Amino acid sequence: MAANASVCLSFDFDAISVWLGSLNATSPSAISRGEFGAVATERLLEMLARWEIKSTWFIPGHTIDTYPDLVRRVADAGHEIGHHNYCHENPISLSLDDEKRVLDRGTGTQRPKPHRMKSAMKFRRRAFPEVCQRQAQDRS
């Protein structure tokens, strides 16, 4: 009997943004750890292609601005792109207006437009549903 199982694979390609945005780190050591995200993304894309697996990638706008060709390769390989703020900001530390600005800025840089949204740091606040709904209407 064949097994019938489903698996959801998602990746956060945060790169430098998680160190700058969420952790306020500016040391070369922290930044270099973020830069490894691009190396890991290359490796993951090769592995996913080899196994013919599609996945979801949550990518902040800052990462898209920093690695546009690599992000394009993720999209061109057929993986789903998810919104992940602009610089992986912690929404708990933002006012409602600032949170809306961060979500809009993250989308403004994203090519292609994200299919899903996941708040960085796993926190969802008041702006999240409103901005998600408005951006979904803008895409249709």
Task: By CB under 5 A, tell whether 12 contacts Zn ion.
Answer: yes
Give the nearest distance from C-beta 90 to Zn ion in angstroms.
11
Long-range contacts of 18-24 (CB under 8 A, 24+ apart): 18/60, 18/88, 18/120, 20/62, 20/87, 20/88, 21/60, 21/62, 21/85, 21/86, 21/87, 21/88, 21/89, 21/90, 21/120, 22/88, 22/89, 22/90, 22/120, 22/121
Could you give the count of Cα atoms lying within 13 Å of 116 in the half-sphere of its Cβ? 15
Give the nearest distance from C-beta 2 to Zn ion in angstroms.
35
Residue 14 or 99 having the CB closest to Zn ion: 14
- From the list 11, 13, 14, 127, which residue makes contact with Zn ion (rule: CB under 5 A)? 14
Applying CB under 5 A, the span of 5-13, 25-33, 45-53, 64-72 interacting with Zn ion comes to: 5-13
Residue 4 or 132 having the CB closest to Zn ion: 132
Nearest position to Zn ion, beta carbon: 12
Applying CB under 5 A, the span of 11-19, 43-51, 62-70, 89-97 interacting with Zn ion comes to: 11-19
Binding site for Zn ion (CB under 5 A): 12, 14
